Structure 1
Amino acid sequence: MAQNTRRIAVFVSPHGFGHAARATAVMAALQALAPDPGFEVFTTVPRWFFADSLGETAFGYHECLTDLGLVQRTPFMEDIAGTIRALDDLLPFRPAVVDALAARIRQLGCRMVLCDIAPLGIAVARRAGLPAVLVENFLWDWIYQGYGDAALDRHGAYLAALFAQADYHVQATPACLPRPADLHAAPVSRAPRTAPAQIRQALAVEAGQKMLLLTLGGVRGGFPSLKALAARDDVCFVIPGASPAPDFRGNLRLLPHRSSFFHPDLMAAADAVAGKLGYSTVAELYYAGAPFAYVWRERFRESAPLGAFVSAEMAGFGIAPDAFESGAWLERLDELLSLPPRPRQEENGATQIARFMLAHWPA
């Protein structure tokens, strides 16, 4: 990478792709607002995810377990015992790890640290003497409290103390637990970059055929029966993550997690979306406007406030995980496709956060 005068260390939670999508949206907004931003990304989210949004040479990549979140058995079921074992291994963060990362980001010339709920970044920023910007719509201590487990609460208390040490706190709409913050931002979303008509043509969506995107937010497994989808040949189903290579068969478009299609472009081209309820999906659909049949998770505390936001501000309805996986939700497919779109033109929260970070750049 070329030398940049505004270099930022970006620590990203690897729990799904949603946190990476939000952090990438902020980085892209910084690229648009400033002539010289540079990024050093610390996470275990695959490097390609950031490259697809920012370009191959716009950032340095450092594979690092910055956060755990929750261990998932399936896209809709958490493994609490596995989560506790993993947290026991990870927390508290080892001083040697924090020291080494602090030395690395100083050596790389970073002047600010951006954390999308990756608490390690805050600890590293404190050790390096750099300002930390925390971006969240929930924090892990609040999520852990929903399971009523003493071990999770113990780890949550440690993380809460770290989160409180952030120099700047940004809450992104829809926030699960609204609280005082230095900035309350609009929904944060990556922007599409290809016209919907071009995307539909590339996917071979027939004229007059509806296009429905199925998404699980980067977590593997849990898709409904392909046979049930194939029976609705009036609808073209596009399913990222359903195949190791692009596979177009009948009315199904099975794609790998990384394909030639930029995910926000698929969102913007779809007539409707169905899948896991997560922040980045909600934020991208908030601007794209397509109706959303969202799958809630009974015990995951983020589901209720995100679902309430969809009901109040967007078009869509909730479906149960078992109905999604069995294909029973297809009984409501016509209802979903009949909902009118509700696109938004307001300023993206990513731009608001980028402007805030530049305004608070250290002297």
Structure 2
Amino acid sequence: MTLSLAYFVTPHGFGHGARAAAIMEAVYQQNPNCHFEVFTQVPEWVFADSTHAPFRYHSLLTDLGLAQKTPLVVDLPETVRRLATLMPFNPQMIKRLAAQVTQAGCRAVLCDVAALGLTVAHAAGLPSVLIENFTWDWIYEPYVAEEPKLQPHMDYLRQLYATATYRFQVAPVCHVLPHTPQIAPLSRSPRQSAGEVRARLEIPPHHKLVLLTMGGMNADWRTVVAQLHQAEGVSFVIPGASKNGLEREGNVLLLPPRSNIFHPDLLGAGDAVVGKLGYSTLAETYHAGLPFAYVERPGFREYPVLAEFVQKEMHGLEIKAADFESGAWLAQLPTILALPHVTRSGPNGANQMADFIIQQFSAPHC
């Protein structure tokens, strides 16, 4: 009998989709007779390119997160405006979604931060599984003083998160809850060897390879690219920076958001990562064992937690946002590339979640 599961994923960047896809793939590797109903506005290709698990995609705004002016700057008034159009969730929408997951034969509803899925699970009489390293109510909390209109949305979400049948916190955890199981850093796994990837990208044998990333969020890379040409003996690859397929500008390779190079393979072939400190980038860099030079994100509540994890469990250093924009950080590049790599032998949280899901939901829901 097919193991059918619904998955509601927050659309804030690509990282939550990548994390969900890693769990889907881990479930598939243990039980190929599985099927997922995926509800999100993370692009469908993120899942199609990341997992062999069969799934049906439903384009749905599951939650909002934070509106942002740039990958490093939040927009609180716009966040409040959008939240007001979405929450509280429409009862008719919940009823319709509950009917959908029931008709699809789903045995449980998995939720990557997206509280909507918890409400749908309750309406459908199904168990829910909340998977998070933070929740939006916790993220909103310090902003309430500046933007009091966030308070009712924060309270509403906190109530919804408390309804999860099962809850797992993924390391590094931003707000540790008592009696809540924690799992290891969770990420997708590479598929090709470093040599194969470097050959496909035509990286000179003597070059170091550095990955620059803003975690799937739009950024203006034009000024940055011009600065990178001064780095001798180093090639840079920037995912999501091209709208016209793979572009090569000297020692810089610009990739489109959807590339035929699997993102974890880029890390597996790389020597260091530089960019925005988001969960999935951190987790994939952690499992790849690479040093991480991360750009400071003042005002983002998760940032100190993630930065502390890099300092304690990885090798890395902080780059000031102004230095990243000006190119001054390139003076630190020799230091970044001299940081040691780490060989990981610990578990991947995706496999830990798959173990739980298969054990808990393989029998038909009663």
Same fold (TM over 0.5): yes
Runs of 4+ deviating beyond 3 Å: none
Amino acid paired to 2:230 = A
**Are 1:80 and 2:76 counterparts?**
yes
**Are 1:238 and 2:234 counterparts?**
no
Q: For residues 69-108 of structure 1, what are the alpha-carbon distances to aligned partners after superposition, in whole Å with 9 as ceiling and x for unaligned?
A: 0011100001110000000110000001100100111111
Q: State the secondary structure of the residue aligned to 2:332.
A: helix
**2:157 counterpart residue number:** 159
* Equivalent-residue separation in structure 2 for 1:253 and 1:206 (angstroms): 12
Q: For residues 245-298 of structure 1, what are the alpha-carbon distances to aligned partners after superposition, in whole Å with 9 as ceiling and x for unaligned?
A: 210121010100101100000011110000000110111111101100011211
Deviation of 1:222 (Å) = 4.2
**2:304 counterpart residue number:** 304
* Equivalent-residue separation in structure 2 for 1:197 and 1:280 (angstroms): 24
* Equivalent-residue separation in structure 1 for 2:349 and 2:152 (angstroms): 33
Q: CA RMSD in A?
A: 1.2
Runs (5+) with no aligned partner, structure 2: none
**2:354 counterpart residue number:** 354
Deviation of 1:347 (Å) = 1.4
Q: State the secondary structure of the residue aligned to 2:215.
A: coil
Deviation of 1:322 (Å) = 2.1
CA contact (8 A) 1:170 1:181 kept: no
Which among 181, 196, 199 is matched to residue 198 of structure 1?
196
Q: In structure 2, do the counterparts of structure 1 residues 140 and 165 end up closer, same or farther at CA, with 3 Å as the change threshold?
A: same
* Equivalent-residue separation in structure 1 for 2:37 and 2:60 (angstroms): 12
Superposition TM-score, scaled by structure 2 size:
0.96
**1:267 counterpart residue number:** 267
CA contact (8 A) 2:109 2:128 kept: yes
Q: State the secondary structure of the residue aligned to 2:49.
A: helix
CA contact (8 A) 2:22 2:51 kept: no
Corresponding pairs, count: 359
Q: State the secondary structure of the residue aligned to 1:86.
A: helix
**Are 1:66 and 2:62 counterparts?**
yes
Which among 69, 85, 89 is matched to residue 85 of structure 2?
89
**Are 1:226 and 2:222 counterparts?**
no
* Equivalent-residue separation in structure 2 for 1:317 and 1:212 (angstroms): 15
Amino acid paired to 1:341 = H
**1:249 counterpart residue number:** 249
**1:114 counterpart residue number:** 110
**1:189 counterpart residue number:** 187
**Are 1:144 and 2:143 counterparts?**
no
Runs (5+) with no aligned partner, structure 1: none
* Equivalent-residue separation in structure 1 for 2:41 and 2:319 (angstroms): 31
CA contact (8 A) 2:242 2:256 kept: yes
Deviation of 1:36 (Å) = 1.3
CA contact (8 A) 1:286 1:343 kept: no
* Equivalent-residue separation in structure 1 for 2:308 and 2:314 (angstroms): 10
Identity %: 49
* Equivalent-residue separation in structure 2 for 1:144 and 1:197 (angstroms): 44
**1:11 counterpart residue number:** 8
CA contact (8 A) 1:222 1:325 kept: no
Deviation of 1:342 (Å) = 1.4
Q: State the secondary structure of the residue aligned to 1:53.
A: coil
